[in-house]
Amino acid sequence: MDSTLPLDIEPRVYTVSEFRKLVDSNARIVREIIEYGVLLAGDENIVRDALKTKKT
């Protein structure tokens, strides 16, 4: 990674069950994932499902 870039990148790795617990606990990181996150691997439906959960 180029240290001269003016941004911080911090990859986070969660299992499906960990992510669901974060959604259930209304963790701030879930809102940030929905707004700014980039899914690098796995099923993108989990983020869509989190978005639906947050809207209800």
pLDDT at 33: 84
Task: Check: pTM over 0.85? Answer yes or no.
Answer: no
Percentage, residues of the chain above pLDDT 90: 11
Find the mean pLDDT for residues 7-34.
86
Q: For residue 2, is pLDDT > 70?
A: no
Q: What is the pLDDT of residues 26-53, one digit of tens each?
A: 899 888 888 888 888 888 888 888 777 7
CA dihedral 3, 7, 21, 14 (to 10 degrees): -30
Mean pLDDT of the chain: 81
